[in-house]
Structure formats: C-alpha cells, structure tokens
Structure 1
C-alpha cells in the first residue's frame, strides 16, 4: 500500500505552523533567493549534513540546536535575499508592454529557431574543423536517431545528460556529439569525432 503526504500534511502532523504568504510572494522570494544564493551552504551551512548530526526529535529542538551553530545564518540569508528583492523591484518598474513584446518575440521566434537549428550549427562547425562537408538527415535517418552527417559519418547530437540515459539500452548507429547548454549558448564535445 502506498500513501501520499503533501507538505501541508507533514507540517500539520509534526505540529509546525504554516506561514501564510500573499499570492505570488513566494515565487518572487524564490527567484530572489536563486539569484542572491542566500540559502547556499556557505551562508546557512550544509543543511543535509546538519540534520543528520542533529540529535533531537522536535522542531523546537532543531531550531535551538541549529541557531547555536549558525547564529547569523537566517539574518545573513534574509539580507542577501532582501537586497535582491530590492533589485527585482527596480527591474520590474522597467517592464512595460514593449519590453514584454520583445521578450515574447525572442522566446517564441528566436530561441525556438535557435533551439531547433543549433544541430545544424554543430554539424557545420564540426565539418569545418574536419575539412569535410555536412548535411542534415532526412526523416528516415531521424527515426534512427541520426541528426546529420559529417562527410559520410552519421552523427547523433545529444545533450550531455544523455550519457546518464545511455543505460536505457537505446542503440544509435552513429557517432554521438554531446553538448551542454550554457547561459549564452552551448558547449560542444567533439571528442568522438577526432578519435
């Protein structure tokens, strides 16, 4: 038998009150925290290790135990996050319809096109480095996991995370080029091509 406990039920079972936040506030605070990195281990400690070390059972004991070891952590986290919230408030005041239109256009048109066409850019660059031609695959090749050819060599282009999924048993009759997404583009591993 399986049961599901949502966080609210777990809090209630453990006797921990749930704070009430206005709509959208937690999303903004989470965004600010991601940018400010206010709850990273260097600020609040390695919580997964600390909770294992904690000898008590009750929340109140945990709170006291933690604060003894990291007396300024909550304040430091709050200050980092609050500073970022102020920056976000400033940024949000700059948002108007035109800016949203540009953002939507960039996401829907430009980034979609780049996302779908970056495979061709990878093939073209790799072919250039090898001194050969390239071509995109047709529908038949695509159904076999082949994205294109560099010279006569069939190529499959996969995200770096695919390496973990390789154990699923999928077999592609092609050299695989791995890529990793970066904030401003992609990093491509052409290692298999030059073996």
Structure 2
C-alpha cells in the first residue's frame, strides 16, 4: 500500500491547525516576504539552527520555546511583510493594460534579444573604449573561435567561467574578453590593448 501525505496535511496532522487563504494571497505574501525579507534570520532567527537546538518533540513545546527565545519576531516579520503588501496594493492600482503590454513587450522583444545578442553590446562597448570600429564575426570566422572584430583584430568573447577551463582542449589565438553576466549588468574583464 502506498500513501501520500500532502505538505498541508503534514502540517495539519502535527499542529491540528488548518489555514485557509483566499486564492492568490499566499503567492503575493511570498513575494512580499521576499522583497521585505521579513523572515530572514536577523528577524526570526536561523531556523535550521534553532530546530536543532530545540530538545522537545511537540509542536506546542516548539512554539513556546521559540517564542521565549524570539518574543517579537512574528510581529516584526508581520509588520515587514504587511508594509510590502501595502506597497503592492498601491503599485497594483498603477497597473493598467498598457503597462502590462509594455512589460510583456520589453520581456519578449527587448530582453530576449539583448539577452541572446549581448555579444554585440560587448564588442561595441570595448570598441568605443579604444575608439575603434567593430563588427560581428561571419560564420566562417566563428568556426575559428572569433566572435567579432574590433578594428581589424579578431576577438573571442567567453564567460568568466571559461578562465577555469582554459588550457583544456581549445586553443584561442585571439584576444579574449571575459564577461560575467550579473542580474543588473555585464562585467567585462580583458587584458589587451588595441
């Protein structure tokens, strides 16, 4: 016989409590919590350490023990998350159909293109740094490990993680621009001059 116990039922079996949240509200509260960092360790404690430190076996004992150690943490976390929910309410009122369309257009058109074609932006930025022209490589040039040219110099563009692998199998004779794609920027690293 196989039995499945959904997480919500595990919680109910252990606590005797059930929570019923209106549709979509837990998703919004999760997002508000992420943005406000309401349940970070500095607010509610490091849970993985606390549960190891706790010596009891009953939920009621855990609740009492936890609240003695962190008496204000639930209220502090609640205030932080609720403040973010309030900001969300204000933001939601500013979203109209045109705003949604613009967001989707930016995501599908602009971010997809720039996310996949950022090599040209790298070439252009470095070329501007040296006051040179640039161009993308032809397929034949790409087969030789060249991603583009700055002036008449063939350039290879590789992720920063490639530095670790250098010297394995591939030999690249052209200068290399290493990049590290961060959430809000691309950090370039190169040690050549043109």
* Cα shift at 1:68: 0.7
What is the CA–CA distance in structure 2 between the aligned matches of 1:188 and 1:32, rounded to whole Å? 30
RMSD: 3.4
The 3-state SS of whatever aligns with 1:152 is strand
Q: What is the TM-score when the length of structure 1 is the normalising length?
A: 0.74
What is the CA–CA distance in structure 1 between the aligned matches of 2:27 and 2:112, rounded to whole Å? 25
Which residue matches 2:62?
Answer: 62
Q: Are 2:87 and 1:87 aligned?
A: yes
* Cα shift at 1:133: 5.3
Q: Are 2:186 and 1:187 aligned?
A: yes
What is the CA–CA distance in structure 2 between the aligned matches of 1:135 and 1:82, rounded to whole Å? 51
Which ranges in structure 2 are unaligned for 5 or more consecutive residues?
none
The 3-state SS of whatever aligns with 1:182 is coil
* Cα shift at 1:90: 1.4
* Cα shift at 1:48: 2.0
Q: Deviations over 1:44-64 (max 9, x none)?
A: 112222222222223222211
Which ranges in structure 1 are unaligned for 5 or more consecutive residues?
none
The 3-state SS of whatever aligns with 1:43 is helix
Q: Deviations over 1:137-161 (max 9, x none)?
A: 44467678864455224222x3x6x
Which residue matches 1:116?
Answer: 116
What is the CA–CA distance in structure 2 between the aligned matches of 1:34 and 1:172, rounded to whole Å? 42
* Contact residue 44 and residue 74 of structure 1 kept, 8 A: yes
What is the CA–CA distance in structure 1 between the aligned matches of 2:105 and 2:45, rounded to whole Å? 41
* Contact residue 145 and residue 172 of structure 1 kept, 8 A: no
Which residue matches 2:154?
Answer: 152
Q: What is the TM-score when the length of structure 2 is the normalising length?
A: 0.75
**What pairs with 1:1-195 in structure 2 (closer than 5 Å)?**
6-8=6-8, 10-11=10-11, 14=14, 17-129=17-129, 134-139=134-139, 147-148=147-148, 151-156=153-158, 158=159, 162=161, 173-174=171-172, 175=176, 177-183=178-184, 186-191=185-190
* Cα shift at 1:127: 3.8
What is the CA–CA distance in structure 2 between the aligned matches of 1:10 and 1:146, rounded to whole Å? 56
* Contact residue 177 and residue 192 of structure 1 kept, 8 A: no
